[in-house]
Amino acid sequence: MHTSSFALCNDIVLHYRLDGLPPPTATSRPLVFLNSLGSDMRIWDALIGPFAGTHPIIRYDKRGHGL
């Protein structure tokens, strides 16, 4: 399962994506993947698969990166 959308935060629009399990439970805490300068959330594409079956995954494009 994945969801891709946009969030408005302090008048800034950020693109985010949720992958893996539904929202966290007591046994499945979310993993947050943060990209660095000059990249976007796609840098984590190859690593999402192994974790998607056991954790909710949150990643987003920082201001000025990605979508």
At 27-66, the pLDDT tens digits run: 678 899 988 777 888 888 898 888 888 888 989 887 766 5
Residue 66 in any domain: the answer is no
Residue 65 in any domain: the answer is no
| Structural domain boundaries, residue 38 | 2-60
Q: What's the pTM?
A: 0.73
List the structure tokens of 61. 């494009």
- Other Cβ atoms less than 10 A from the Cβ of 20: the count is 19
Calpha distance 61→66 (Å, rounded): 6
Residues 35 and 62 sit within 8 Å (Cβ to Cβ): yes
Helix H or strand E encompassing 46:
helix 45-52
Domain count, the chain: 1
Residue 10 in any domain: the answer is yes
Partners of 14 in the beta sheet? 7
Residue 11 in any domain: the answer is yes
